[in-house]
Amino acid sequence: MTSFLQAIGWLALLVFMLPVLGYTLVLLVSRPRPPMRFALGYVPFVVAWFLAAFLIVALLWVIPPLPRAAVAATVVYLGLLVTPLASGMARYPLHIIRCGHLPVVATTFAAGMTYTTPDSPDYRVTPFDDRFFCSREEASAAGFHESSD
């Protein structure tokens, strides 16, 4: 039982604290800064990630706590990268790294083909955002137009 609790503790650290540290880093280095409500969209995503990984931790009882938590968090995250309505939220941090700054967030939902830039007060990632670009020009070249909301 102690091993299981240790694994859950490590899992909580990996799934909750790493995104918080990453978001804090984004707030410190990005100009303009995303609005605080931007982070609120990630709360249900991270909770779902934790709950799914919790089940895997329970199944991997023969592995020591830290590797068990790391395997569970990684397996679920890789699954989220290809899961509809979750993949955009899972891929967003990867695009921050790819672009070197906050990316332009775009959606094809309802054939809208719109994008929002980091300097917009409406900038956020939702389950319906499925494309990311490093610049307005890149988004426009792909056939997207700036959101008027």
Q: Which residue has the higher pLDDT, 14 or 141?
A: 141
- Asked if residue 91 and residue 55 are part of one domain, the reply reads no
Helical axes 65-80 vs 87-99, angle rounded to 10°: 100
Do 29 and 96 fall into the same domain?
no
Q: Please check whether residues 11 and 43 belong to one and the same domain.
A: yes
In sign, the C-alpha dihedral spanning 28, 32, 37, 40 is negative
Structural domain count, the chain = 2
Tell whether the model's pLDDT for residue 33 goes beyond 70.
no
Q: pTM to 2 decimals?
A: 0.76
3-state secondary structure of 133: strand
Do 65 and 11 belong to one domain? yes
Amino acid at 137: E
The last residue of a domain, from among 80, 102, 117: 80
pLDDT digits (tens, 9 = 90+) for 79-105: 988 888 888 888 888 888 888 888 999
Mean pLDDT score of the chain:
85
Return all residues near 148 (Cβ < 8 A) that are at least 6 apart: 114
Gap between the terminal Cα atoms of the chain: 51
Q: Is residue 41 pLDDT above 70, yes or no?
A: yes
Coil, strand or helix at 48:
helix
Q: Which domain holds residue 91?
A: 86-149
Say what the pLDDT of residue 112 is. Answer: 80
* Predicted pLDDT at 31: 67
